[in-house]
A and B are shown apart, each in its own frame.
Chain A
């Protein structure tokens, strides 16, 4: 039945007819591949094809006038008729209704911003960056090459015959290789990458109120909703069961990060009694420096202080702050942070 209707379809469509004339070989090819096969497999295969669907009829084409139709409309269309509505569920990559990427404003996961250019960020770009470049730059006169750097992996001393063909020895102190320090140029001046603020709540197992208060305070001081972390393993000494919520944390980037660090250095740290600064030994030797604040210091954050009565004073948590920088060693990271007003004391390691 479908094969009988084919000629009528081509006759009714002038545009398709023209195509047919222009590319006769293409059409004949298609005919050979599809139509012959269909005649053979007519019982098993559905013979209908998109090529065989008739186009719009003449009356339909004549009646199609969207502008006139929209003018005839008395009230505007509801937004659901023309707005894209992202799906609430992601149903896998093969589903026809795909959610837009989180960077798209219509996405459900979209986070708008930044809404301001923080003062610390401006100062970094206008002042600190060039100063840091000056301090960290190593000049090699033209025509000279920097000296050869030492081997990263140690070799075996050859005292034993079994040392032959062994892989090289790992560095002292563990198998992890420290990051290489690239020469600092205007392209890779160390900058702030992100700040992690987290708080392990000891009492979370017995009373979840502590966790709630910690989350509220964390949100108040960082402007970001806190995430609850669950214990990975059961540790009897810490009263931890696997899967039980035990801590809250926040990852700050961009505007929030600069606001938070500026607040900590300008307002919070100077109010700590007998404060020396951050230990010079702090850091993971790869450019991330961390420190902690006790509950009494967390209580002096301006956002907590203004609303201090809202929080049960015994449940105010202590927080750990880890500042991740793009510097690859702690020395550079410390220089960056001290330019931003973070004081350091004691012997500076690495």
Chain B
């Protein structure tokens, strides 16, 4: 057999120029299809539907889908105000410094909204007043700390609050 093989190869015609017409048989392969299961998909708002999938789990419960994502629900106030805290940084901050900063931010927001509403009547004194008010409130909040820490904490808190709100707005848009 090893003697014959090189001989046969030498006798073969070049594949580019067929010597005579030939029709080889074509294999008809059975198509390969993965097994599919019927799966019940439960969306986050409780709606369900079934689909065929290769996943063997009978029920798929999604925690995040189109029903609770802001991009698909741009008018939802609930999702708009929802706080993104996936890394747990906000919670850690609250554990350490309390929730007073949240309340401050909410008040600010309310004040801004009120200001926007009241812009038409016109109140020039308001923007000038606000920093003082804020300072007072911050002083109340951090009254438990030392005098040196006051200024620092205040400055940091204000900066952080501002940065966070700006970031959040940018992210939402």
B74 to chain A, nearest CB (A): 10
A89 partner residues in chain B, CB cutoff 8 A: 25-28
Q: Is the CB of B23 within 8 A of A267?
A: no
Q: Is the CB of B72 within 8 A of A341?
A: yes
A269 partner residues in chain B, CB cutoff 8 A: 66
Within 8 A of A (CB), among B71-116: 71-72
A121 to chain B, nearest CB (A): 11
B146 in the interface (beta carbon within 8 A): no
A118 to chain B, nearest CB (A): 6
Q: Per a CB cutoff under 8 Å, which of A116, A219, A343 touches B72?
A: A343
Within 8 A of B (CB), among A89-135: 89-92, 99, 107-109, 111, 115-116, 118-119
Does more than half of chain B's interface fall in helix, strand or loop, or is it mixed? loop
A194 in the interface (beta carbon within 8 A): no
Q: Is the CB of B51 within 8 A of A90?
A: no
Does more than half of chain A's interface fall in helix, strand or loop, or is it mixed? loop
Within 8 A of A (CB), among B54-84: 54-57, 60, 62, 64-66, 68-69, 71-72
Within 8 A of A (CB), among B1-57: 23, 25-34, 36, 38, 41, 43, 49-57
Counting chain A residues whose Cβ lies within 8 A of the other chain, the interface size class is 35 or more
Within 8 A of B (CB), among A247-295: 255-256, 259, 262-263, 265-267, 269-271, 274-277
B128 in the interface (beta carbon within 8 A): no
Q: A223-B36, A341-B66 are in contact. Are A108 and B72 (CB under 8 A)?
A: no
Q: Per a CB cutoff under 8 Å, which of B26, B33, B171 touches A90?
A: B26
Q: Per a CB cutoff under 8 Å, which of A224, A302, A307 touches B60?
A: A302
Q: Is the CB of B54 within 8 A of A87?
A: no
List the interface of chain A (C-beta within 8 A of B): 86-92, 99, 107-109, 111, 115-116, 118-119, 219-221, 223-225, 255-256, 259, 262-263, 265-267, 269-271, 274-277, 302-303, 306-307, 341, 343
